[in-house]
Amino acid sequence: MLFNSFTQYVTILFFAGFLIFSGCSKSDDQREFENQSLSAPSGYTATQAEGEITNNDPDDWRVSPMYRGLLNIGTGISSLQPPYPNPIDYNQDLTINIYLSNIDNLNRIEVYSFENVSDAGKPPIAVRDDISSPSLVTIRLNGQEISGQSGGSQANGLYRIRVLDGDLNVITYGDIKIGTE
């Protein structure tokens, strides 16, 4: 009888530990989304100065599985408004709006940029840790910050922007073109 109780106790502890561990891991969909965010920039969603989309890249500015339904890229709940304008000049600002509709555990947003996948490990180019829920978070970046270049024409190219939470989970990503060539 003692052995049977002990076995049940160990079994319960094992399954409880498994459930806790599996609950903390990322879903396969989230991992796949994050892997896609680390691919080389290709194509971009063109937007005008007011945010109007003139050419759509379906891979850009999707919301990750972890945050789908909890936030939107844009100023409201239901309409997509990708960062604008795109393309931008080296000295021009890009505006990224993220509408948080119901995020209690999101307290930090980090923005990363790379032109070549080998540069994906660079430090963030912008950090917002003044998040309150629900709210509209607006992040402005200029071409110099995105490219990390010190000269205008050297910065021309296509850059991947990745937006992550404070736990380094990808929220969204998309490509920005610097220069009009």
pTM of this prediction exceeds 0.85: no
Confidence band (pLDDT; 50, 70, 90) for 17?
very low
**For the chain, what percent of residues have pLDDT higher than 90?**
68
Kindly report the CATH number that applies to the domain delimited by 27-178.
Answer: 2.60.40.10
Single-letter amino acid code for the residue at 135: S
Domains of the chain, residue spans: 27-178
| 34-78 confidence digits (pLDDT tens) | 999 999 999 999 999 989 999 999 999 999 999 999 999 999 877
